[in-house]
């Protein structure tokens, strides 16, 4: 997957976790929690969805890399580079 595809995967996960949020104005450089009503359980849901869908393990010490869309995509790019894009 490329960065654009990974960004869309994250958007899709966020839409499932927070269906009432308007993600059209999401700023990729601003922390998710400053833009959305996400609590720690929602954040863990993101991590669990990535694990379930793509079989990637994200250690707790790496959660700091999942703060913004930009940092999340940067962190996931090497982990998902060989994964086929979802249809």
pLDDT value, residue 83? 84
pLDDT value, residue 86? 63
Task: Please state the separation of Cα 32 from the chain's center in Å.
Answer: 9
Domains of the chain, residue spans: 3-80
SS3 of 32, please? helix
- Per-residue pLDDT of the chain (87 residues), as tens digits, is 999 999 999 999 999 999 998 899 999 999 999 999 888 899 999 999 999 999 999 999 999 999 999 999 999 999 998 887 665
pLDDT value, residue 2? 93
Distances (CA, A) of 34 to 22, 26, 55: 13, 10, 28
Q: How deeply is 33 buried, as exposed, middle or buried, from its count of CB atoms within 10 A (0-12, 13-18, 19+)? A: middle
Fold of 3-80: 1.10.1200
Distance CA 42, CA 23 (A): 15
pLDDT value, residue 52? 94
pTM reported for the whole predicted model: 0.89
């Amino acid at each position: 997957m490329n960065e654009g595809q990974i960004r869309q995967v994250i958007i899709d996960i966020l839409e499932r976790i927070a269906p009432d949020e308007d993600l059209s104005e999401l700023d990729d450089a601003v922390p998710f929690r400053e833009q959305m009503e996400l609590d720690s359980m929602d954040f863990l849901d993101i991590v669990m969805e990535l694990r379930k869908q793509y079989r990637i393990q994200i250690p707790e010490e790496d959660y700091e890399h999942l703060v913004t869309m930009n940092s999340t995509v940067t962190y996931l790019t090497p982990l998902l580079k060989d994964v086929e894009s979802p249809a």
